[in-house]
Amino acid sequence: MDLNDTPEQAAYRVKVRGWLEQHKAEAPEVRSTRAGAEDAGYLQARRAWQGKLAEGGLAGVTWPHEFGGQGLGPIEQVVVNQELGRAGVPGILDVIGLGMLGPCLIAHGTDEQKTRHLGPMLHGDEVWCQMFSEPGAGSDLAAVQTRARAEDDGGFALNGQKVWTTNAHFASFGLVLARTNPDVPKHKGMTMFILPMDAPGVTVRGLRQISGEAEFNEVFMDDVRVGPEMVVGGVDNGWGTALTVLMYERLTIGLGSEGLGYNAQRFARALAADPGAVKDKAVRKAIGEIGTDLLALRFASYRTLSALSQGQIPGPESGLAKVTTVNAAIAAGDLIADVLGPDALDEDSEWSYMISFLPGLKSAGGTEQILRNTIGERVLGLPPEPRLDKAVAFSELAKLSRPGGSVSSGAEEKEGAAA
């Protein structure tokens, strides 16, 4: 593909740059998550800025016009991201909502759900969170234990626990995956629900990380009642609905590496400031390898953008971009810490947050082991991993772990993620 702007893209870039020049004084400062996740005033400023971006057409760039978006392609979204970085202003606050959950509602939601939720989500009036992972289900997402019991009035009662839920402490709504039928194989008896985070029975507790922040949470649901209008994608169809979210999640993480600050030039500049590191062959070799991975990722991103601009949806290959991004950034963080020493972890260091945060990012969108299995089976066409739980009802799976338990043999698609 041609890496230069087309005349139309160049004109769009001028338009975006002009809007940002006019409005950037209204933007809040750029902070790391550490300095912003628990600051209510800063979060409110970010929500307002997202609303301003939406009014200017710089949020929901790829969303259809009918839902308040611009109806443009992924390349125009990249142009916006590049110009936001150039202007030195933050982007949208609700990356999870606009990047993953909104597209899921557009694909699987009812007309009423789209009308009710997409507008407030786009403008930052209602932030969303994704509730997939559980203490015993994340890498094997189909092991979800949260139950949704059907009620006589057509609604459901949710009971269970979710974990690693980003932004749950200030989200208005969550998209939650729950089991509605335990008598069918585990991939088939789940349903996706919209959950108001202020519903009676919902408890959110922050999880303090090694970085000192609490941007993740655990969420408990104790007989939380939701109406049938909260079902997304149909009862017992939650697995297919969840896969839509996962594909967008891996795409967002994998292709957003430079937007997250994971680029070779930035890492190399930090190392070049140390005279000893410049002369050290091992350091030069290591940053060269990291830069090669990130450069390869950039061109893989261009290929993916080209496919998306032609109307294709994100596929399982997006998982490879996620694996490459996180591993390269962790390697860079380790290298910088080795060169700078304890100063790299100083609270004021630009590297402290990245070094402490990235190990957690390894699980987001699926662990590396799960993603490598998915890529091997669904992209490379390798034989699937043997599975003992195919065609076994979820309610019978506990017997498999018992001595002498009866099992069925076979292989089944395996997916997983952490949210």
Looking only at the bridges linking them, the beta strands covering 156-162 and 128-131 are: unpaired
149 forms beta bridges with 157
Residue of 76, 249, 412, 415 marked catalytic: 249
Q: Let me know if 249 is a catalytic residue.
A: yes
Q: How many CA atoms lie within 13 A of 330 on its CB side?
A: 13
Residues sharing a CB contact under 8 Å with residue 267, sequence separation 6 or more, in sequence order: 287, 290, 291, 332, 335, 336
DSSP summary character for residue 364: B
**Contact present, 118 and 48 (Cβ < 8 Å):** no
Residues sharing a CB contact under 8 Å with residue 211, sequence separation 6 or more, in sequence order: 34, 352, 353, 356, 357
Q: How many CA atoms lie within 13 A of 396 on its CB side?
A: 13
The C-alpha atoms of residue 354 and residue 256 are separated, in whole angstroms, by 15
Active site residues: 249
